[in-house]
Amino acid sequence: MTQWIRVLLLVASLFPILVDCRTRHYKFNVVLRKATRLCSSKPIVTVNGNFPGPTIHAREDDTVLIKVVNHVKYNVSIHWHGIRQLRTGWADGPAYITQCPIQPGQSYIYNFTITGQRGTLLWHAHILWLRATVHGALVILPKLGVPYPFPTPYKEAVVILGEWWKSDVEAVINEAMKSGLAPNVSDAHTINGHPGPFSSCSLQGGFTLPVDPGKTYMLRIINAALNEELFLKIAGHHLTVVEVDATYTKPFSTDTVLIAPGQTTNVLLTAGLGAGKYLVTASSFMDSPIAVDNMTATATVQYSGTLSSTPTTITNPPPQNATSVATKFTDSLRSLNSKKYPARVPLATDHSLLFTVGLGINPCATCVNGGKVVANINNVTFVMPTTALLQAHYFKMKGVYTDDFPGNPPIAFNYTGTQPTNFQTMNGTRLYRLAYNSTVQLVLQDTGMIAPERHPVHLHGFNFFVIGRGLGNYNPKKDPKKFNLVDPVERNTVGVPSGGWTAIRFRADNPGVWFMHCHLEVHTTWGLKMAFVVDNGKGPNESVLPPPSDLPKC
Ligand SMILES: *[C@@H]1O[C@H](CO)[C@@H](O)[C@H](O)[C@H]1NC(C)=O
Ligand SMILES: *[C@@H]1O[C@H](CO)[C@@H](O)[C@H](O)[C@H]1NC(C)=O
Ligand SMILES: *[C@@H]1O[C@H](CO)[C@@H](O)[C@H](O)[C@H]1NC(C)=O
Ligand SMILES: *[C@@H]1O[C@H](CO)[C@@H](O)[C@H](O)[C@H]1NC(C)=O
Ligand SMILES: *[C@@H]1O[C@H](CO)[C@@H](O)[C@H](O)[C@H]1NC(C)=O
Ligand SMILES: *[C@@H]1O[C@H](CO)[C@@H](O)[C@H](O)[C@H]1NC(C)=O
Ligand SMILES: *[C@@H]1O[C@H](CO)[C@@H](O)[C@H](O)[C@H]1NC(C)=O
Ligand SMILES: *[C@@H]1O[C@H](CO)[C@@H](O)[C@H](O)[C@H]1NC(C)=O
Ligand SMILES: *[C@@H]1O[C@H](CO)[C@@H](O)[C@H](O)[C@H]1NC(C)=O
Ligand SMILES: *[C@@H]1O[C@H](CO)[C@@H](O)[C@H](O)[C@H]1NC(C)=O
Ligand SMILES: [Cu+2]
């Protein structure tokens, strides 16, 4: 016997690859914590008392088990944003879509395996507005021994951008839902939890990234803000983008990064200057007449050997309405499309869909103006069910949803032209059904209803390719001629331009119920959401796994 154990140990030492795909265990205690910075002492909901929350580290092929224990008065659920969740929709997290919430005093183990993905993603609460403070980084390293397709950085750092309200965020959205008007904008932006040294509201300075001259660093930038797309700049430095939403890109150099809520961007920063302190800024991008938080969050890149008396080299953030800066950044994004990391763009499509995304106004007798602002996709304002949709699908329960989501706008109109006089929408818990492995082309068309506005749309369960974008109305005859089917960027969240459209393609190779929604939390709350139901394919490998025994009940 002992001889066999010795042989096994020898074999294991000869093939260290055996320890490659591991199981990573995390425990997330959802607790209240006093906010001790940012001009406020109100308690906030956090994971393990941290803001931002803990970083999850894993490698491609690892299984991750996270036990979430709810110690607060709110229902809770957590989403692993961008993780494909192949056949494991039970671990995706959006409340009432793939699971019932974890109720106060209850717990749930999220169990998923990371397949075919490496890079930076984020995790966040997916219920109410809790993700304002319940969020953190998900760092996925390549498999052991597999290098990055770019020079290995000397060090890496996570940079999480956020939005901060002095008031309780649930009070902010509840007040808005009562009045029917837009919620208050945030009071500050944050970089790794701090508004920065230039804020009147900073008790603990700001985030500082120490660097050594000549070395290259990789910043894993995450936009965890609720409602605002952000520009990020570092004074005196260019940044090389190498990855977005956990897919490698063709490297390109830029002085400004544009990042929407739910998006992640890895950049290389070479500390190529002499000793000094250089300001990092995070500021809003909004190019339509919508109120945003105009506070710039700041941080510092500090070279080793810098005297404390050295002044900080500052930079001005782009103007809030800098559409050209945003467009230049977006147009530079291409997937790496190498032999090792090919862009598998579906060349033929089984479904060609056109979804309008925008706002509307429905009657509301108790609201301030007798109406309330709502949001919709193809004129359907999504109504949340009280039973989770994945359960309803898996157990074939009737009456929870219908699968008649319109594939085209019910009424065609000049989406970005003169506004229709009727702003009303329909209610519905309607899903769009897809066969396993079918291919989808989806054009997301902004409408000018109330005001044109950018919408960062996020799809759960899939990555998609962004094959085209344009201003005005999508033209199905002319525009497809300009589609990039060779090396379009692959991601999970894409900004639909204000008064324009974006076209995406994906393959429905993941059975389950997959949420799609605007990642501006205010628009999600107002109803800019729907879901795809993807049927099982052949055999167990193409079917949703059975639900875990501890899946929360409604
Ligand atoms: C996680 O899910 C896998 C199936 O995908 C299952 O084999 C395993 O037992 C689960 N682990 C736990 C701790 O629930
Ligand atoms: C929203 O802003 C208004 C105006 O500043 C203020 O009166 C109100 O208290 C704010 N609401 C919350 C929930 O903070
Ligand atoms: C930010 O917006 C507020 C409210 O609209 C305004 O009073 C203030 O002057 C603005 N600040 C800057 C720096 O633009
Ligand atoms: C951006 O806003 C500034 C100040 O509000 C204005 O002067 C400028 O014309 C705007 N630029 C564009 C491109 O709309
Ligand atoms: C639509 O649904 C909302 C709940 O999400 C409800 O308040 C409203 O009355 C519904 N409107 C209609 C016309 O059914
Ligand atoms: C839509 O409206 C815009 C602005 O009024 C106009 O320029 C455009 O020609 C219209 N498009 C169509 C297809 O009617
Ligand atoms: C949306 O639906 C409402 C309610 O059925 C209808 O009155 C309105 O005309 C529709 N609008 C569009 C643009 O489809
Ligand atoms: C999915 O469809 C593609 C062709 O569109 C085919 O090559 C592939 O084998 C199919 N995959 C599965 C798992 O059926
Ligand atoms: C299912 O997938 C596993 C692992 O990829 C493979 O070993 C097995 O043969 C597959 N089973 C079927 C029925 O395709
Ligand atoms: C929490 O979720 C359960 C199950 O859906 C629901 O019955 C309950 O009303 C929710 N609690 C709150 C405070 O919303
Ligand atoms: Cu939106």
Which tops the pLDDT comparison, 184 or 200? Answer: 184
Does 529 have pLDDT greater than 50? yes
- Determine the atom of ligand 5 nearest the C-alpha atom of 427: 1
Say how far apart CA 547 and CA 105 lie, in whole Å: 21
Between 78 and 421, name the one with better pLDDT: 78
Query: What ligand 7 atom has the least distance to the C-alpha of 378?
Result: 14
Residue 83 has pLDDT above 50, yes or no: yes
Question: For ligand 2, which residues put their CB under 6 angstroms from it?
Answer: 167, 171-172, 175, 184
**Mutation pick for ligand 2 pocket among 39, 166, 167 (CB with most ligand atoms within 8 Å):** 167
The 3-state DSSP composition of the chain as helix, strand, coil percent (nearest 5) reads 10, 40, 50
pLDDT of residue 177: 98
Neighbours of ion ligand 11 (CB under 5 A): 455, 518, 520, 523
* The CATH classification of domain 23-141, taken from the options 3.40.47.10, 3.40.228.10, 1.10.10.60, 2.60.40.420: 2.60.40.420
Give the C-alpha distances (Å, rounded to integers) separating 270 from 51, 132, 218, 335: 28, 31, 9, 22
Ligand 6 neighbourhood includes 369 CB (under 6 angstroms): no
Residue 425 beta carbon below 6 angstroms from any ligand 7 atom: yes
Residues flanking ligand 4, CB < 6 Å: 319, 321
Q: How confident is the model at residue 205 (pLDDT cuts 50, 70, 90)?
A: confident
Give the residues across from 303 on adjacent strands. 211
Which residue minimizes the CA distance to atom 9 of ligand 9?
Answer: 541
* CATH 2.60.40.420 fits domain 351-542: yes
- Residue-wise pLDDT for 426-445, tens only, equals 999 999 999 999 999 999 99
Kindly give the distance from the C-alpha atom of residue 227 to the centroid of ligand 4, in angstroms, as a whole number: 21
| Distance from residue 542's CA to the centre of ligand 9 (Å) | 10
Q: What is the pTM assigned to this prediction?
A: 0.95
Per-residue pLDDT at 42? 83
Closest ligand 9 atom to Cα of 540: 13
Name all residues whose Cβ lies below 6 A of ligand 5: 383, 427
pLDDT in tens, 36-56: 656 677 899 999 999 999 999
> Please, which pLDDT band fits residue 7 given cuts at 50, 70 and 90?
very low
311, pLDDT greater than 90: yes
The CA-atom distances, in angstroms, between 62 and each of 21, 24, 110, 117, 543 are 5, 7, 13, 11, 21
The residue whose CA has the least distance to atom 7 of ligand 6 is 417
The dotted CATH code for 155-331 is 2.60.40.420
**What DSSP element (H or E) covers 522?**
helix 521-526
Tell me which residue of 290, 230, 238, 232 sits closest to 262, measured CA to CA. Answer: 230
Triad 428, 430, 432: Cα angle to 5°:
155
**CA 370 to ligand 10 centroid distance, Å:** 29
Model confidence over 254-288: pLDDT tens digits?
Answer: 999 999 999 999 999 999 999 999 999 999 999 99
Question: What mean pLDDT comes out for the span 470-478?
Answer: 98
Q: What is the rounded average pLDDT of the residues 387-414?
A: 98
Q: What is the pLDDT of residue 36?
A: 64
Average per-residue pLDDT for the chain: 94
Give the pair of three-digit tokens for residue 330.
Answer: 């977006």
pLDDT given at position 203? 56
Residue 473 CB less than 6 A away from ligand 6: yes
pLDDT at residue 516 above 70? yes
> Is the predicted pLDDT of residue 10 greater than 60, yes or no?
no
- Strands, E assignment, 418-544: 426-428, 431-434, 439-446, 455-459, 464-471, 490-491, 493-496, 500-507, 512-518, 529-534
Domain boundaries, the chain: 23-141, 155-331, 351-542
What pLDDT sits at residue 197?
75
CA distance 551 to 2: 42
pLDDT in tens, 374-398: 999 999 999 999 999 999 999 999 9
Q: What's CA 545's distance to the chain center, in Å?
A: 25
Q: What is the mean pLDDT of residues 345-351?
A: 98
Interval between CA 184 and ligand 2 midpoint (Å)? 6
Q: Which ligand is nearest to the CA of 548?
A: 1
**Which residues are CB-contacts of 143 (< 8 A; sequence separation ≥ 6)?**
20, 59, 60, 61, 118
Nearest to 121 by CA among 252, 221, 229: 221
The pLDDT score that the predictor gives to residue 9 is 47
Q: What local confidence, expressed as pLDDT, does residue 201 receive?
A: 66
